[in-house]
Amino acid sequence: MSSPITKTDLEFLKRFSMLIGVLALMALAFILLALYIYAKHPAAKSPDAGKAVTERIAPVGDSYAGDTGRAAMLAAEEARKKAAAAQVAYGGTTDGKVIYDQLCGACHKAGISGAPKLDDKADWAPRLAQGVDTLIKHATEGFTGKKGVMPARGGNPSLNDEQIKATVHWMIEQTK
């Protein structure tokens, strides 16, 4: 009885297995070369890596219990308020012109979303008739009217009340 595999098939299998063996050895050589190169020149670590890990594994909330917990909770609230106060827009300036130039002018110079242009007295007349307190309220809390929209705090939540009041007064002075 003869072998089911012919002589040419055996020759093919021999050469194919040799090719696979050579390719496997080449792959192993490239892996070893890559490990050697990486060992000599490791990847640079980010200086913020530790901070990123700390933020990623930080607890989502805090637990407070008893009087000690209440004191810790009040201290955390005070720290949050101080941090928020430190992040006041435009360095805390109450110069209405500075705030207008950097924020309000984006809409009020071109009349975007129905914003009254600073130099258009006719557009300001009905608004001025409502009173300064109403204008300050609309600038602080935001307003949606028939003619347009005023976003709360001019779209910058870090503006404090004094800055808004100073800017509204400055704008009113410019319309006269």
Inform me whether the pLDDT recorded for 100 exceeds 90.
Answer: no
The mean pLDDT of 43-50, rounded to a whole number, is 83
Name the band, by pLDDT with cuts 50, 70 and 90, for residue 75. Answer: confident
The mean pLDDT of 33-58, rounded to a whole number, is 87
| pLDDT score at 13 | 93
Whole-prediction pTM: 0.51
120 Cβ neighbours under 8 A, 6+ residues apart: 111
What's the CATH number for 90-175?
1.10.760.10
Q: Supply the DSSP string of 43-93, one letter for each residue.
A: PPPPTTHHHHHHHHHS-SS----HHHHHHHHHHHHHHHHHHHHHT-GGGG-
Spell out the domain ranges in the chain.
Answer: 8-42, 90-175
